[in-house]
Structure 1
Amino acid sequence: MTLPTLDTRRQLPLTASVFLCLAVLTAYGYPPTRTCEPIRSDLCKGLGYNETGMPNLVRSELQSEAVLQLQTFVPLIQYGCSSQLRFFLCSVYLPMCTEKVLETIGPCRPLCESVKSRCEQVMENFGFHWPASLNCSKFPLINNQDHMCMDGPEAKNYEKNHLLNSEFKGKVQAFSPSYTHPEISGGEKGTSIGPRSQHYGFCENYKMSHFYYYINRTRRCAQKCSADILFTHDNKNFTDIWVAVWASGCFLSTLFTVLTFLADTSKSRYPERAILYLSAAYNVYSIAYITPLVIHRDEIACHVDSQHGVSILIQEGLNNIHCTINFMLLYFFSMAGAVWWLILTVTWFLAAKLRWNHEAIMRQSTYFHLAAWALPSMKTIAILVMREVEADELTGTCYVGAHSGNTLIAFVIAPSFAYLLMGSVFLIYGTVSVFRSGSSHVSERLDVNTVRIGIFAVLYTIPATCVLGANFYEYFSREQWLVAGSGSRPMVEFFTLKIFMSLVVGMTTGLWVCSSKEPVTVWGKRWQSFTNRRRKNLPLTYGHHGFSQKHVIMNMSKRHPFKRGSETVV
């Protein structure tokens, strides 16, 4: 049986009637409910309400956006100009929400005026005005059934007279533009501003805190670029000369090694080929150290902060393209060189212990290149994404972990230790296994070149261990160097030793190549080939005393017109 259907023209009025009925029921009998969400900001938790709703009283549509705006007031909250400030700001940016009330519930006007009377002067001393979005006239005067608002906590006793007590007056005077620090002027030329106004008191736990600026964006204290905090001016000048000498030596040595390998590619066989890539990595690594000597170090390590208008030591790296490139060259190729040394130990183990030939090892070269270039690439990208590129005060280069101990141990110490440990295991196991077979058969099992490669791989562990030790020294001692009241300074000898040991690996590749007859043979053949090619291209000429290079007597490709039989007369 077929069910009856309504005509289309009758369906439209019926649908409209249904919606009209629902609207009437909603308006009179079933009021709509408001959607509330839990407060996600730790700053605004525990204030007497746990849920908020968007948009807030400054028209932010998302809670994440409101939390970000709220963070800009953290220095003012922690300074303590008003005990009611935190509640007031939270009630504006994350107002109270309940499903029984359609509107968000913010602060009452007396709460706003109380906070403003105490904090507006402090903000003006910082160079900021009271925000228009916090205009007190927009908030309800009292909490009633027509306009709901929150009175907030009671003001402290010393705040009720609306006057600053003597302690607070002293703080304001310390922040006032007329105050000048006896040692340094915190602002740019033409300004006289106290050190607390540049870091809001957040950097007072640092030694020489008047050289620091608190950056709201990063919520960290940044060092003034021209300041000598951990190292003296003489330390930096000596380090520049030290870096110039050893970086130039590393560059020339590694360049000679690479060119020697490329001059005769048939000699480049595994495990020896790993030394070629290691040398190429350290060649670029040395260029990164030379760069701050060619380009002024301030152009790499510093940038002008828009908040304070002063040049500070870089903390994020991405603000300066020179710093970013310098970091990529230093970090990527130093890690790539460490991985290629690990690959050298693996291939040496395969050749010395397992007796793999070049062709067998060569078939695994894809995995070698994947490990050597992909691992450093992933770590480099991760550091850039995390914005952890930092400038070094001593050398003027950009690296990771120059100011943060966590990033130093995660991206420098941990991987370097892992590569060194794994490579040492292959060397030890391979050496012990070979000599266990009997000393009389060692010379039969190993050729001279394999022994030389093994010695080079072992010698690499000495500078790598020294660099690792210097990094541990910096990691465990940095807080002691920077804490206020501490008279300790880092020993610059550790850092200059670290620089030397990090560059000497590249220099040893040139010494390793020169320890054999290969450079003499390769470059001798190249020179002989060059001279033979030059002789072949010289024309035959004749002068008064026989052959010379002034007059061409004949072209050997040209035949004389007079012939006798099959002969050609010249």
Structure 2
Amino acid sequence: MMKWCLGVVLAVCARALADAAVRTCEPIKVAMCRDIGYNQTGMPNLARHTLQADADVTLQTFSPLVQYGCSEQLHLFLCAVYVPMCTDKVALPIGPCRSLCEAVHARCFPVLSGFGFQWPAELDCELFPAENNHEHMCMEGPGERAAGAGAAAGEAACRRLRRAPAWLWLRGAGRCAQYCDAEVLWEAGERRAAEVWLATWAALSFACTLAAAGAALACGAGAGAGVGAGGAGERALVLVALCRCAAAAGWGVRAAAGRAAAGCAQDPASTRMLLAHDGLANPNCAVVFLLLYYFGLAASVWWVVVAGAWRAAVLRPTTLPGAPRHDRHSSLLQLAAWGVPAALAAAVLVTRDVDADELTGTCFVGNQSSKSLLALVIVPEAICLLLGGVFLASGLRAVLRRAPPPPPPALLAPAPAPAPRPDQSVLRLGAFAALYAAPSACILATYVYEYLWRDAWLAAPGAQGSGPQPAFWVFLFRIFASQILGVMVAVWIGTPRLKALWRRAVGPRKPVKPPPAPLALPAHCYAHAHTLPRHTHKYSTYRPPSHHYSYRKPRHYHYSAGETIL
């Protein structure tokens, strides 16, 4: 018995000496553990890997857990197990202490169990030394830093979201960021369908608005319009087309760059691409946001100017068509139309609220923040729609309550001046303003729908089911309505101007015949009755006393048929 025990002890000691003799320190080649605090390791490691390549493959499986950030010491703990520290002064590898393992286990095991994974056997805390001493050297780690209440609440909020592994808590930004390739609300097929839908309507809107704006500038901004308020409305209508053309160019930049290049960015602390949550980190994302948000909001403000100009033209129509009238408030309108969207866009960039949506990867504001969606999208668009609606209702009320034309004047009475009525161009301007309001109201309704239901969509499903899902057709309709606004304004202002340019370029097909000259009649055929020669001596009532003439009235002969013959 004593011999057997002595043999076992000698075998263990021989194995330990053999391991110590075989193990040599070498530079760390695993990319994940190069900046861990030491640069030498020795194989085999504590998980019995003989090559650093095998340890690297195993460490890559823990990359999502490291990015999730369940523990600040997880990175050090994993490297200490799979790439332990090696020094020439100590024969055995220096791995983690039991206290480090227990701290990491307390924070990360609930996350793994929530995802359906078990704690790995080679990471069992009982395998590591209880404390660091001269007999068993180990790494205790710096300890968990006290996380703020906001960070703890944020991490808990990310765990409560739908498909929690698809989210990463960003401590610097203070929000949950979604991985670029993660499918949380939309599937891959829906994304491809939205991509094709977006590219088609964006190309159509850009082509139409560009052609209409070019035709308007070639013919003159106010060609075919009245003066005064009507002319101001026509000029504002052309600016609406230019803004919609720039917004369509933003959609085109997004479609040309692609989803990953325009809507995704890499976080400095992560190795995977995240859905853009800070537009300044991606130049393509910033350009798309500026084109869509700034020019889209500017188009809404100019539409309000169109509605106001139509109301002014209806209430105070111009009596003299050729009389010039200067716009007194043109400078204020220019400042409001271009300055207000610029101020809001600057506020979005300063607060770093530019983010991309999951469906199309288009950078806008409020795609990931309900507060930003309400304050910077819904409220400005609602104000514009309300002001435009008030102007339209006031002008329509004035048209419906206009007094009927006066009765024909009496004989020999001076004819009163007819009341001025709006011409055809003014009425056409009002019709456009009314038609433009319908898609704008639908777009605003889709934003309100997203604001009200977004939290319910992103909430983790309960035990009863998968939870509510967003309606795919609503978001497709938003893309359609946004682009149809450009197509509508292009067709509205471009049709008469394109006809004018075509006629100017082609010219009249048939020569216009001059009107026939009047017949040359003798002068006596034109003579009036009072120009004919009269015999004054025959019809005069005065007679000399020497002559006695009797003047008889002409006799009238009456017939039975009622006809009188002189």
TM-score by length of 2: 0.59
**1:488 is matched with which residue: 464, 468, 474?**
468
Indicate whether 1:205 and 2:160 are aligned. Answer: yes
Q: Partner of 1:303: helix, strand, or coil? A: strand
Q: Partner of 2:469: helix, strand, or coil? A: coil
Indicate whether 1:387 and 2:349 are aligned. Answer: no
Residue number in structure 2 paired with 1:153:
none
Cα distance change of structure 1 residues 242 and 123 upon mapping to structure 2, 3 Å threshold: closer
Q: How does 1:419-438 map to 2 (within 5 A)?
A: 419-438=384-403
Residue number in structure 2 paired with 1:124:
73
Q: Deviations over 1:346-374 (max 9, x none)?
A: 11111121225895353422222111100
Residue number in structure 2 paired with 1:403:
368
Indicate whether 1:329 and 2:329 are aligned. Answer: no
**1:477 is matched with which residue: 453, 456, 479?**
453
Q: Deviations over 1:324-352 (max 9, x none)?
A: 11101100000000000000011111112
Greater gyration radius: 2
- What is the CA-CA distance between 1:528 and the residue it aligns to? 5.2
**1:374 is matched with which residue: 330, 339, 351?**
339
Q: Deviations over 1:144-164 (max 9, x none)?
A: xxxxxxxxxxxxxxxxxx979
Distance in 2, Cα, partners of 1:279 & 1:122: 54
Indicate whether 1:351 and 2:351 are aligned. Answer: no
Amino acid at match of 1:480: A
Q: Deviations over 1:155-183 (max 9, x none)?
A: xxxxxxx979999846544679x999779
- What is the CA-CA distance between 1:519 and the residue it aligns to? 2.3
Q: Partner of 1:488: helix, strand, or coil? A: coil
Residue number in structure 2 paired with 1:319:
281
Q: Partner of 1:123: helix, strand, or coil? A: coil
Q: Which range moves more in the overlay, 486-495 or 325-334?
A: 486-495
**1:229 is matched with which residue: 164, 178, 184?**
184
Say whether the 8 Å CA contact 1:126–1:175 is kept in structure 2: no
- What is the CA-CA distance between 1:460 and the residue it aligns to? 0.8
Indicate whether 1:519 and 2:498 are aligned. Answer: yes
Say whether the 8 Å CA contact 2:71–2:107 is kept in structure 1: no
Say whether the 8 Å CA contact 2:457–2:468 is kept in structure 1: yes
Say whether the 8 Å CA contact 2:378–2:448 is kept in structure 1: yes
Distance in 2, Cα, partners of 1:354 & 1:498: 37
Q: How does 1:146-161 map to 2 (within 5 A)?
A: none
**2:489 is matched with which residue: 509, 514, 518?**
509
Residue number in structure 2 paired with 1:534:
none
Q: Deviations over 1:262-292 (max 9, x none)?
A: 1111516321111100000000101111112
Q: Partner of 1:360: helix, strand, or coil? A: coil
**2:477 is matched with which residue: 490, 497, 504?**
497
TM-score by length of 1: 0.59
- What is the CA-CA distance between 1:484 and the residue it aligns to? 0.7
Amino acid at match of 1:296: G
Amino acid at match of 2:165: H
* Number of matched pairs: 362
- What is the CA-CA distance between 1:522 and the residue it aligns to? 2.7
**Structure 2: runs of 5 or more not aligned:** 1-69, 79-97, 119-151, 226-230, 407-417, 509-566
- What is the CA-CA distance between 1:232 and the residue it aligns to? 1.2
Distance in 1, Cα, partners of 2:202 & 2:428: 25
Residue number in structure 2 paired with 1:468:
444
Residue number in structure 2 paired with 1:219:
174
Residue number in structure 2 paired with 1:263:
218
Say whether the 8 Å CA contact 1:464–1:501 is kept in structure 2: yes
CA RMSD for the aligned pairs?
A: 3.2
Amino acid at match of 1:367: L
Distance in 1, Cα, partners of 2:377 & 2:197: 23
Say whether the 8 Å CA contact 2:267–2:273 is kept in structure 1: yes
**Structure 1: runs of 5 or more not aligned:** 1-120, 130-161, 184-196, 530-570
Q: Deviations over 1:512-546 (max 9, x none)?
A: 13554x421233214559xxxxxxxxxxxxxxxxx
